[in-house]
Amino acid sequence: MSGPPDISLNVLVASADPAILDVAQRALVATGDKPTSAMSVAEALATAQAERYDVAFVDVSLDGDTGLALVHHLRTLVAGLVVYVLASPKKVELATEGVSLGAAGILVTPLTGDALAQAAGEVRVRNVDAQRRHDLEVELLRMRRRSDLLDRLIRLARGSGQSEAVRVITDAFAQATQAKGVVLYAAFEAPGGDCVRLATSGTARDMPAIARLDELAKTFELRKARPVSLKTSHGLIGIVAIEGGIADVETEHATLVELATVVLALMDSRRPRGQAMKDERGAVYSGAYFQDIAAREIDKAKRHGRRVSICAIALDGSDRVTKDELENVVRQVVRDTDVLASETPNEYLLLMPETGGLGAHACRRRIFTRIEGDRRQRSSNALSDRRGPVPSRRGAPVTIGSATYPHDGVALERLVRIAKNRASAQARSAVHTLSLAQLALPEAVDMLLAKPILDSGVTSPFPLELASHAFLSLVGQACLEARRGGGATIYVTVHPSMGVASAVRQAVRDAKDITVRAVDARGVPGCGDVEAVVVAAEHGHWVCCGRVTKDRFRGVHAADPLLADLVAHRLAQAGGLRGP
């Protein structure tokens, strides 16, 4: 037969009788309880407010038979308090009123230690049973939640909601561990032990999208993130990294670790075999993995109201820029969280998470600048080796088009298609077909005036001849359109006769995220009557340039990002500004 439960009670004894207090002290200490004495009603109330008690013994004769009032007041002050009434044989009838006030029973004085110990023991057993019921209810609720979560995750992982499944797992870790940031990676044995980021939350959103195991270990150590390995019988299948929160994740939240492992195992079993994460050279990632990661990033951008950009990069197949040279340049330019994938032998896709249209265009510009610098260096080396200069050919060896979620579309297929179309259109840019790259601003404007229509493409320059007021209205409307997507930078020439710069400033006067750079180019030879406006906005570029004669503007306009960059750069040079 088992002994009494090993639990100590806090006991309040309210009586002015020294004999009662002495018996209670000896009996309750012997049973391992903690008795506290109160010799007046006021002292009993003050003591009950300062300490939580499990049981109270109240003498009804306290303070001239006012002790009976303590039954109600003590039970009001201390939730769940069990009260026993102490009464002499003459006052048992008075004590019965205490039962009607909520007392658990009556102990008749003179008091014995056995009677006190028995009453305290009943309370002890009652408390133990209540605690056991509470623990069982908590465990049952935990098991139900675990079962519901596991069932939901299995349905998501087996169906089309794999992105939702990994997000649920990440959010569950963040909530359970109270972490500042959580990231979930899928781990692969080959090639090179690469890991793919599946989902993030909080401060972990800037973790690398793809990295080797050793690189991730260094990142976790640097950021003081605690990694938790997700393993099956076949080995490591994933990693959860936690920034902040509780210290021991695997012990206290083993259920979540188990669920995350089950989800990744199910997703891995559904993944088509034979797909390599990287191409055959191990240099860039495969198109299949690009599709998987890009879909997740777009899904995350939808949930958090963010932007994602995709660039389509194409080589012309000549020896002017090789695959290795292009890949090295791109890897040096992009961030660690960006993903470069090979789609065909001469075509690449670049994923830039949390990057808007202006950021994508800036990345394109950096790639072009680096490639052109490398080509010039090779040309210089060829001259020094007396082999002659590298022959100049028409067109660009590399073309890049970009598309941004949500401005250009919300579906991955549409974004990729738009990026490819823009890369193709860039090959027909006036910068290449008219060889404008080496021309100064007045010569470039004259060339565009002489050959304004190149083809029927959406980015081709078209002729424009307007009266001054109509031209100012067109420029103002373009500037208003620039505000639609958020931030923008506008380059404009300053000519008092036309007032184009004033029209631009008026159109964007209350826009805090639009920068206007006015350039006085009249001092540059050939630019005395040149008017130009370049709008570089989040959702696209627009350029308009030409000459003014007798209050009429004659020129061209185009939605060509390369031409916009060229004109903006020439304007910046003329005004001594930092170029785009």
- Is residue 530 helix, strand or coil? strand
252 and 319 share one domain: no
What is the C-alpha separation between 324 and 57, in angstroms, rounded?
88
> Is residue 134 very low, low, confident or very high in pLDDT (cuts 50, 70, 90)?
confident
- Average pLDDT, stretch 233-252? 72
Residues 562 and 494 in one domain: yes
Q: Say if residue 549's pLDDT is above 90.
A: no
Residue 311 CA to residue 83 CA, distance in Å, equals 76
Helix (H, G, I), strand (E, B) or coil at 206: helix
Q: Based on the domain organization, do 51 and 93 belong to the same domain?
A: yes
Residue 154 counted as domain residue: no
Of the three residues 409, 427, 445, the one that is the final residue of a domain is 427
For 412, the domain range is: 285-427
Q: Are residues 110 and 179 in the same domain?
A: no
Residue partners of 488: CB distance under 8 A and separation at least 6: 358, 482, 508, 513, 514, 515, 535, 536, 537, 538
457 and 533 assigned to the same domain: yes
pTM for the model stands at: 0.54
> Which residues are CB-neighbours of 259 under 8 A, at least 6 positions away?
146, 149, 150, 153, 169, 172
Examine the domain organization and report whether 420 and 291 are in the same domain.
yes
Q: Which CATH number fits the domain that encloses residue 255?
A: 3.30.450.40
Q: How many domains does the chain have?
A: 4
Any idea what the CATH number is for the domain that residue 517 is in?
3.30.870
What pLDDT does 276 receive? Answer: 47
Tell whether 143 is covered by a domain.
Answer: no
Give pLDDT tens digits for 412-440: 889 999 999 888 888 888 888 888 888 89
The yes-or-no verdict on residue 387 having pLDDT over 70 is no
CATH number for 125: 3.40.50.2300
| pLDDT mean across residues, the chain | 81
pLDDT recorded at residue 378:
63
- Last residue of some domain: 407, 427, 447? 427
Q: Where are the alpha helices (DSSP H) in 60-112?
A: 62-65, 68-77, 92-100
Residue 135 lies in a domain: no
Residue 298 lies in a domain: yes
Strand order in the sheet with 530-537: 462-467, 552-558, 540-549, 530-537, 488-493, 514-519
Domain of residue 416, CATH code: 3.30.70.270
Shared-domain flag, residues 456 and 527: yes
